[in-house]
Structure 1
Amino acid sequence: MTDELELLKRDWQKKETELPSLSYAEIHKMIWKKSSSIVKWILIISILEFTLPQLLIFAPPMEEAMQIYDNIGVSNYLFMLSLVIYAVAIYFIFQFYRRFTEISVLDNSKNLMKKILRTRKTVKHYVFFSLSMVLVMIIIMLVGVYLNEDITHAFPEFEDKLQDISPNKLKITLMLTIGIFGIVLTLFMAGVYFLMYGLLLRKLNKNYAELKQLEF
């Protein structure tokens, strides 16, 4: 029995010596490459997220929506809000580019860990800003409807049919519709951000944990 155990032990040790062993530098380089690729995808997704909606601005449904905003009296406020959103979105895209250029430089583990933490922080701030802007937009629309004295003028094509409905009842119905739509839109965007950025951040977190284990 002892001889059999000894033979098994020797066989296992022999297999261990045959397995490829990676040095500290090789493992660090692998983690660095994976982290750089992840940050590159964060940058690409943020650019696509900014540019693709711009292609829909001149689509017929958007033109009709803009007309409704104008009839409600909130188009100027939404325009100013969109300028803020564009400016801040461009700022974040620039920040993602900076994070990518920073993390693309091969560095020691401690510096790479700091860069991963900075990237995570930037992404979280961007997601928080984007979701909060959706809520601000919904609030502006709710206030616009509430302050509108004759809301039926906001829908001229349905004005005849809306004459039988009291303005207050129409306001409440419209505000409830906008509120529900806002909640659904916010949850939908939160889900999309979780899929797009959340999965990438989880991979970055894994890389961070591996670096921490490697360093300490």
Structure 2
Amino acid sequence: MIKNILIVSAAVLIHISFTGALFSDEIKKYSIEQLQKAGFTSENMSKDAFLKLRNKVFEIPDYESGQFSIDKMKKIDAKGNKLKGYIATINGNCTSDPAEVFILASSDGNEYIVQRFDSLHASLDEILRDIDGDGNFEILVNEEIAGENTPRCNSFFWVNIYTWKEGGGFVIDNEKFIKSYYFKEYLNMISKRIAEAEHLLNMPEKDPDASKVKTIALSMLEDCRTALSKLSKLAEKK
């Protein structure tokens, strides 16, 4: 159904007039009329077609396009605001670690938003969530919190939360979730990191790795300070 899900291949996009728009921003808007002229509509979009759409819209050069692949992809079908479309996590630079979120969505079937975000260690199951149970999806985008000496296995992420705004796509809306998400999630994570760092700091001085481990522990504590600072600033805005 054209009002629910839209498929557009790279070949089709070439023949559509986008009123001179340059495909360099992180968010684009297309009317359904522009896309209807091409005659391509379907409820089922393949990974290949979705990736070609992403490459075309954001002007990914041919010599770079082969470096990207879709890790996971799923339909968006929100009961609250009737948002429908697709979302995918993208692997980049020939790695198997998704680093981008790509979205095609519409809440009215007339205007479609094409949008992408950089997100470290992107997991589709964690990215698209209904945090407050209102029937609408939020997008959770990872920003790594890691000091200079913090091992990857001990680092964690600061999550920016985006909500759908009619006509504007997904926009950052962290303040809305300070109690329902941030305090609930981060105070627990910070407590665990502090306990881990305390355990490392108790390593006997005679241990040959004591100095290295102490450096790691102090870096982990600095990460906790960074997270607490972010929480504090978020609370001030609220």
TM-score when normalising by structure 2:
0.26
Higher relative contact order at CA 8 Å, sep ≥6: structure 1 or structure 2? 1
Greater share of residues in strand = 2
Greater share of residues in helix = 1
Question: Which has the higher Rg, Structure 1 or Structure 2?
Answer: 1
